[in-house]
Chain A
């Protein structure tokens, strides 16, 4: 077998986590929106900032809220030369655990200074409040040395208790196809459908697999498949949904190519939805050659060939 370099592509994942706050964290972020820092006193007498929801010893809900200062002392720190996306500053900065005046615990946040040489444990820092605060830990943009000049945020009307906070989260991932999937995708780019046979059970998979789910070994021998097959089972989509590209009703079906042992999901178009049947013969409709990519989207849909239907016994094992 020729050496195949796996196909690989970057993917950006993003999701806005929307979280209910509960009484304790609601007090904390509502305080932040009002440019104040609220902690909670626990049964050990310590004031926790940010507040814990439950007492670390008695496990009772903590409700003894205490307003602490927005300035305090660095307990420990570290330095970041190359900030990562999403961090509080986009230039080199320090992370620190800051013990705010009135608190007994460290609050993890960024400290904006020009050089690590400026940082020391025990230094005094103060919060730099965001210009617009929304009830989020990032209402504090970062901390500054206590005596540093900073922009004073404009006053903002008091905020009512906040129940929900939203945090957008992003990740960048470089996804690789398996060797087997790479051969399949390369063939699709050339307008061909290529599956592979499991060396143990001899079943033909399209797409081919890094491991046959029956035998746990990679599929190997390539099998060129025709772009014709049958509908094994199908459903008529009547429900509109976000991002739908075809007007309902239309048919989503499992298509079993001639010579394959695994069906894949595709669309059946160019005929009324009510005419689609189990066992119906169908063929691929390809996009124009110049639009071919590494993917099954090169086939826009399948359409009936008009040949006689396949008998139930010929596909009953594939349902």
Chain B
């Protein structure tokens, strides 16, 4: 009988070749429970089978790196014996199917990744993508995703301190919800996930196990989103109260030194956690599924092993401390069940009432999955269409208004006011007040800055350069508050990698990420890959999202974006504005392949100059030039400061040989606006000259209008009109 006569594996998403490989590894056919376990651990979501080879290109080392890729989250040294752990992860597919719970459980999952290390979560950021707001579905998704993030983050007492939202047609049927969590730990107290010490007990902490989310994240995220609505039962339901107790319980267990190892239960549930813990420790595990507390008594063994019920953690403890562990769990009203033990067999064995129902070599489950080479092919043309939203030849004042009101550029106050951004008393720079969130660390006497960035449209124009830009923008945001990058995490959101053009985008983007991180010396300490983000309507824009954590000595000196009356304004860096791939090009329906390149080294030098200047405390405001170009960046600083600007860009026009319009609205990396007293900017200019960094004086803050002249072009808009446009974002 050939295997194609029986094809249960196909329904579970395994190819015939993968099934054959499983049979070879086991030297027999897997039973039903075993096949279910393989299907999840060999899914794209868990095995990274289309991306793992490429990810090896990323630089992951640096003296400050304490934990790199492979652990629940990465961690960097922030001094005084403390570590900051952080990671970004996607919850795209669940959120496209059920936006409120999908987003909420995305927050729950990334929090668990961080406290699994023994780090207390101190901040959340999120990066969201939706279709154009003109679509009712996009408005619904935005509304529900924001509500879901708030519901979970607010209830658990972790501040949501930053993030970004873009609206682009290619996300219409496949929104992106990427969440980043940052945690703080004593460096010597971080817990590993490796299951060590045969004979130690496996304890399942937290919620009971139900049928919710059977094959949820892993199955949803490993195939294209067709008939997504029908998959709603695969989405998990979040309970932030349960997680709050679980988090406090785990942190107390850690404080008392009662944990040998800890791992969260995420995609693929108990199967994935147990297998990864055993693989990490070079051990085996034995689990008695009849000891797992269930929501429904009649659950089958395979359901228990792959359930994605939320708010659960798997701990390894010394059995001699069991009473003490149970007492802590009782105190926090957190469920705890001894469900098995660590063994030295190298196998994962599942039993029910003493009978073995599955027995697999851990190595086959965790490392046996075939890794695929991609077959990249550069597409000949622009594949995402163009829609004209703004006629050519409209006067620049109206262009600026249209850009400020464009949902991707407009203030996101409507969203971030729904998030608690201040709980835990660390938030020194709140959302929109600065380019990066700044969190004080009284434990070290210093502070960290965090930012998250990624512009899928520009990556679609040029995957290599667009991804470099994302890294540069994140570093620029950190520089504006005076922070030096310590490490980077990323989430690579792409379409189906089996399509040659998506494979090409993925390969070029990862190369861009590698080159930018290498040159800026920012190690990649963790990340996540989300593929198959496409529907019948086509793939999303290729969207690498990068999150960065940086260190700064004095949070009181972190510059905001608000301009002050009388401040001089300068543009720092090699910024060479171009309309290619810009928000303006999008509004005009002018998008196409290609972006001008930039020297990473030259941008890096500008970043260092601005960072050092901000650290001296002489700079009043700093803001990087991003979506909508210089005119929008200046307008944002003006609106936040409640003061107009008088700007002349002729020098930039001359230096870069760009048109006035490009200088007003063009985009590109390496542009940082700084403002402050004339003496401070003179000093900055002198330092810049010595270091070969352009510091161009462009004007001052004053009056109540946005007045910018740029060669043949220019804008003049009242602050009030600019503000009305910029504050216009409402989903309803």
User: Do A and B associate with each other?
Assistant: no
Q: Taking beta carbons and an 8 Å cutoff, which residues of A are in contact with B?
A: none
